[in-house]
Chain A
Amino acid sequence: MSTVTEVHPGGATDTREARPRRRLVARPAAWLVWGVVVFFFLNLLGVVGSVLVSSFGQRWFDTWLPDGFTSKWYGEAWNEFALFDVIVVTLQVSLLVVALSLLVGVPAAYVLARRNFPGKRLAYLVFLLPILMPPITYGIPLATVLYKFGLAGHLSGVVLANLVPSVPFVILTMTPFIEQIDPRIESAARMCGAGLRSVFLRVLAPLLLPGMLASAILVLVRTVGMFELTFLTAGPDSQTLVVALYYSMSAAGIRAQQSVDAMAIIYTTMMLVLLVISLRYVNPTQLVARVKEDPDA
């Protein structure tokens, strides 16, 4: 953690290679920056660690660590909150959302990446709005409409609500991916007699697979973590893990704190597994937003 003096990326290194490695004593500003980062991580560790320790603790009141350790809370949480069903629902919802949003989003992203047409800016704006709006703002009218048609309270309503931010997200992440593909490849395929369908299935799909995988994983992570929309539209048997966790927390006092903690840890583990998988395919900044990379920056 001492390499905090000036580090130059890319081609600058050749002139600096001759220098001795790094100064160990950094400027005060550097220490301050690293101090803030370390402080942030320590607190983060405390936040996650206290839930983890508590979930394994026998009894934990006014002490540094619990009296004893046990894993009984996991069994209790599993049975009490019917976690198996909840996890099945969570997986069903997220996989359906991923599949549907890719199916709808990728063709639209293709058109937006390749074509110019009147109203293109308007289309972009309309696809951007669901991402810019806070979920509660459109979630409440959306839930009202879904209840009117009798869709809310079921799995279908939850899936439909979660699709609202996911489809634009797929479109916005896939458009730069498609722009990177040389259009001459498609022209060549067409010249050899391929129709739209075979261009898509046999030329574009294999090239787009990494992009689709990345965007599918991002949608998966976001859907598993999406609280507001699921909360507003879910019925008793269509709750996902976050919503079940929220209900068990806001009804605190009825159940042992530790079994809520155990449930939170189950949720975290699920998210971490997804995260580890996704980081194999995705650049961390993409989890936040897809920014178009300069080719030679």
Chain B
Amino acid sequence: MSTTATRPARPAGAPQSPRAHWRHRLAERGVDQQLWLLAPAVLFVVLLFLYPFFYGLGLSFQPTEGGPLSDYARFFGDAYQRDTMWITLGIALPAALLNVLAAVPIAYRMRGRFRGKRLVTILLVVPITLGTVLTAQGLLNFLGPTGWFNRILMALHLTDEPVRLVHNYWGVFFSLIITGFPFAFLLVLSYLTGIDPTLERAAATLGAGWWQRFRMVTLPLLMPGLATTFCLTFVLAFSVFPSAVLVGNPAGETRVISIAAYQAAYEQYDYPYASAIAMVMGLIELVVISVVLLARTRFYTGSTGGKG
């Protein structure tokens, strides 16, 4: 293990032996013994991520009955199963979009220094650590028919009978906002603070109003960061599982695709079918993400841009 950190220059004389020659050639391209440090991590990802993934992919083409594609046909042929895709997208896309769009003006307001900024950011981290299960429990208590929220609405005479906010679409939606919004906010804030503030001041000296400054200077620089934030928020929202079961209506309007996959695997013990559903789920997610990331390449991603 006596390799050097810097790459050795091409040896001046002829190589001593063919073996040394071969080693030097590789070392010039950056391959030497130090790369072994990477080996445990690569081995690990291959064994625990890639192998199971391809195993699942292979399994999905070996259904318990029928031809190789029959599990996929079963999924897309059954309206009850097929609709889970639209249900999931119908929850995840609006929730992710709202989280990102709401985070932008708030982060824009808070990008500077002000008293209590640290407190606000710390408070915002709390829901991330609460996790979906506790949020679900809290939402059941708080938004339920006799919960505080409905009591306040009724005390203000805004409504005569309790609004139904849990065990349906809105319960899941709110839980995604509560866990997803702080996440989006902190990311957007870190992107925004990465944009050089002198650019905006330069625009101000040229007579741009705040809207023009935001629209023409900050927003274009922020867009790549927003795209990344949207992707990460979408991943969180897309894999919604505990809250869809606990605060949603898991048999009806919030039967998301992960519930379908879970039921196939752990209630029907049909692993090929469950793998097929999981693959469909991963594929949909990758399609959405790659569309967003493809759009992201159209924006400027230079040095003062929001580090995206």
* Residues of chain A having any CB pair with chain B under 8 Å: 1, 3-4, 6-10, 12, 29-30, 33-34, 36-37, 40-41, 43-44, 46-51, 54, 61-62, 64, 103-105, 107-108, 110-112, 114-118, 123, 126-127, 129-130, 132-138, 140-146, 160-161, 163-164, 167-168, 171, 183, 186-187, 190, 195-197, 221, 225, 227-228, 232, 242, 245-246, 249-250, 260-261, 264, 267-268, 271-272, 274-275, 279, 284-285, 287-289, 291-294, 297
A62, A64, A111, A140 pick with most chain B CB within 10 angstroms: A140
Complex contact A33–B239 (CB within 8 A): no
B44 at the interface (CB under 8 A from A): yes
Complex contact A261–B137 (CB within 8 A): yes
Knowing A43-B149, A284-B122, the reply to whether A7 touches B194 (Cβ < 8 A) is no
B298 at the interface (CB under 8 A from A): no
Give the contacting residue for A133; candidates B57, B105, B125, B282; CB below 8 A.
Answer: B282
Complex contact A115–B35 (CB within 8 A): yes
Q: Which residues of B contact A40 (CB under 8 A)?
A: 181
Query: Can you sample 29 A-B contacts with CB below 8 Å?
Result: A7-B112, A7-B114, A9-B111, A9-B197, A12-B197, A29-B105, A40-B181, A51-B134, A51-B141, A104-B41, A104-B44, A108-B40, A111-B34, A117-B30, A117-B35, A118-B31, A129-B49, A130-B49, A140-B261, A140-B262, A141-B275, A183-B5, A186-B5, A228-B258, A261-B137, A264-B137, A279-B122, A284-B124, A293-B194
Complex contact B44–A163 (CB within 8 A): yes
Q: Which residues of A contact B239 (CB under 8 A)?
A: 134-137, 228
**Cα of A276 to Cα of B251 in the assembled complex, Å:** 39
Distance from B17 Cβ to chain A, minimum over Cβ atoms (Å): 24
Distance from B95 Cβ to chain A, minimum over Cβ atoms (Å): 14
Complex contact B241–A227 (CB within 8 A): yes
B209 at the interface (CB under 8 A from A): no
Q: Which residues of A contact B232 (CB under 8 A)?
A: 288-289
Complex contact A137–B48 (CB within 8 A): no
Complex contact A50–B187 (CB within 8 A): no
Q: Which residues of A contact B105 (CB under 8 A)?
A: 29, 33
Q: How many residues on chain B are close to A (CB under 8 Å)? A: 105
When A and B form their complex, which 8 residue pairs have the shortest distance between CB atoms, in order from nearest? A141-B56, A134-B239, A7-B112, A47-B138, A108-B41, A50-B141, A107-B37, A117-B30
Output the nearest chain B residue to A268 by Cβ-Cβ distance: B134
Complex contact A227–B133 (CB within 8 A): yes
Q: Which residues of A contact B53 (CB under 8 A)?
A: 138, 141
Output the nearest chain A residue to B200 by Cβ-Cβ distance: A8
Q: Which residues of B contact A274 (CB under 8 A)?
A: 129
Complex contact A268–B142 (CB within 8 A): no
Distance from B251 Cβ to chain A, minimum over Cβ atoms (Å): 13
Output the nearest chain B residue to A129 by Cβ-Cβ distance: B49
Knowing A12-B197, A33-B105, the reply to whether A187 touches B181 (Cβ < 8 A) is no
A-B contact number at CB 8 A: 293
Complex contact B40–A107 (CB within 8 A): yes
Give the contacting residue for B151; candidates A49, A64, A111; CB below 8 A.
Answer: A64
Complex contact B109–A137 (CB within 8 A): no
Knowing A43-B142, A46-B149, A144-B265, the reply to whether A115 touches B113 (Cβ < 8 A) is no
Q: Which residues of B contact A186 (CB under 8 A)?
A: 5
- Please report which residues of chain B, range 249-308, place their CB below 8 angstroms from some CB of chain A when the two chains form the complex: 258, 261-262, 265-266, 271, 274-275, 278-279, 281-282, 285, 289, 303-304, 307
- Please report which residues of chain B, range 48-107, place their CB below 8 angstroms from some CB of chain A when the two chains form the complex: 48-53, 55-57, 59, 102, 105-106
User: DSSP majority for the A interface?
Assistant: helix
Output the nearest chain B residue to A243 by Cβ-Cβ distance: B133
Complex contact B55–A133 (CB within 8 A): no
* Residues of chain B having any CB pair with chain A under 8 Å: 1-6, 29-31, 34-35, 37-38, 40-42, 44-45, 48-53, 55-57, 59, 102, 105-106, 109, 111-116, 120-139, 141-142, 146-149, 151, 178, 181, 183, 186-187, 189-191, 193-197, 201, 231-232, 235, 238-239, 241-242, 245-246, 258, 261-262, 265-266, 271, 274-275, 278-279, 281-282, 285, 289, 303-304, 307
**Cα of A111 to Cα of B279 in the assembled complex, Å:** 32
Complex contact A140–B31 (CB within 8 A): no
Knowing A41-B123, A127-B41, A134-B282, the reply to whether A289 touches B106 (Cβ < 8 A) is no
Q: Which residues of A contact B187 (CB under 8 A)?
A: 285, 288-289, 291
Q: Which residues of B contact A132 (CB under 8 A)?
A: 231, 235, 289
Distance from A58 Cβ to chain B, minimum over Cβ atoms (Å): 16
